[in-house]
Homo-oligomer: A and B are copies of this chain.
């Protein structure tokens, strides 16, 4: 479901939405970023790789695309939300709250943890929208780095 820009564009049209230039740029930006990007990053044109756009429109388009199920966003700690293609963001994240280094994990890598949480709480959790937070091995070992 939406493996490239044209497919995403088609999905947008299929829902009766229009395809304006700013909207197309947002879509392209998402396909151009291997990692989740902030709205500001997209508005800034990914640092020159794409035309800049209005930040408000970027937010509004991300919202629309998220409703369509094409986009999703993650919150790393207190940082601004980061957006990514839903098709690509089947990953879960763990962030270090000391050095803010983060690791992306394939979808079912934390199956065991999820099952343990389900057993204990009844909740079906995911670490996609709000990632796991903790200490990375280095910071836990005592020597914090970065940030």
Q: Which residues of A are at the interface with B, using a C-beta cutoff of 8 A?
A: 77, 94, 96-97, 103, 105, 109-110, 112-114, 116-117, 119-126, 129-137, 140
Contacts and interface: CB of A to CB of B under 8 A. Distances in A.
Copy number in the complex reads 2
Contact of A113 (B109, B116, B126, B140): B116
A105 B134 contact: no
A90 to B, nearest CB: 16
A127 B23 CA distance: 37
B110 A123 contact: no
A114 B110 CA distance: 11
Contacts of A119: 112
Given A113-B113, A116-B110, A116-B113, A135 B130 contact: no
